[in-house]
Amino acid sequence: MARQRGKAHTIRQIAVDTNPLAGPQLDGQVGAPARLEAITVGALDSAKPAYQPTVKDLPADERPRERLLEHGAGVLRSSELIAIILGSGLRGQPVTRVAENLLQRFSGLGGLLRAPISELCQVPGIGSARAAELKAALELGRRISVEQPEERPQIRSPADVAALVQVEMEALEAEQFRVVLLES
């Protein structure tokens, strides 16, 4: 019996009856038909995943970086923006799939912002260098969003207050209480 590297496989013989109404019989049973098929149990587990095209394989107008250059960053999905930051994927897994896995595992951009680098590094394709690049880009985005505007914001409704503090507060790991004092 030949073994493939890495995984042990067992071979079992199952009798195949030419009668479509009869079920399969295990080898050695009385009345087992003469024709046998060998089935490798576990072989499907080690099968190679289907080919996934890399970003280079995509038409130019579907590549994230080219779309950003042509149409601006606003038209890209978050996964495409992350793919641009990461640069490349894994063997057999395009960078766009790695980016989608990150967003799914951490429940979006807010989760990525809050995730420690050690947890990011547990994702296949993300090492400490890529995790640091990603965290730096996310932190820049957070800082821009909380930067104080040059003019004083106008508060006319509770929604205005929420818009003022929401982006900064959603990245917090612990609950905080904030007070907004208004002049009339």
More confident residue, 99 or 44: 99
Q: How many helices (H) and strands (E) does the chain have?
A: 7, 3
In this structure, of 54-58, 87-91, 155-159, the range with the lowest mean pLDDT score is: 54-58
Q: Is 164 exposed, middle or buried (0-12, 13-18, 19+ CB in 10 A)?
A: middle
Q: What pTM does this model have?
A: 0.55
Q: Report the C-alpha gap between 115 and 127 in whole angstroms.
A: 14
23-68 per-position pLDDT tens digit:
444 444 455 444 444 444 444 445 555 666 677 777 777 788 888 8
Residues composing the chain:
184
CATH 1.10.150 maps onto the chain at 55-146
* pLDDT (0 to 100) of residue 51: 61
Give the H or E element holding residue 123: none
> 55-146 adopts what CATH topology?
DNA polymerase; domain 1 (1.10.150)
pLDDT bucket at 85, cuts 50 / 70 / 90:
very high
Is residue 23 left, alpha or beta, with left meaning phi > 0 and alpha meaning psi from -120 to 50? beta
pLDDT score of 55:
72
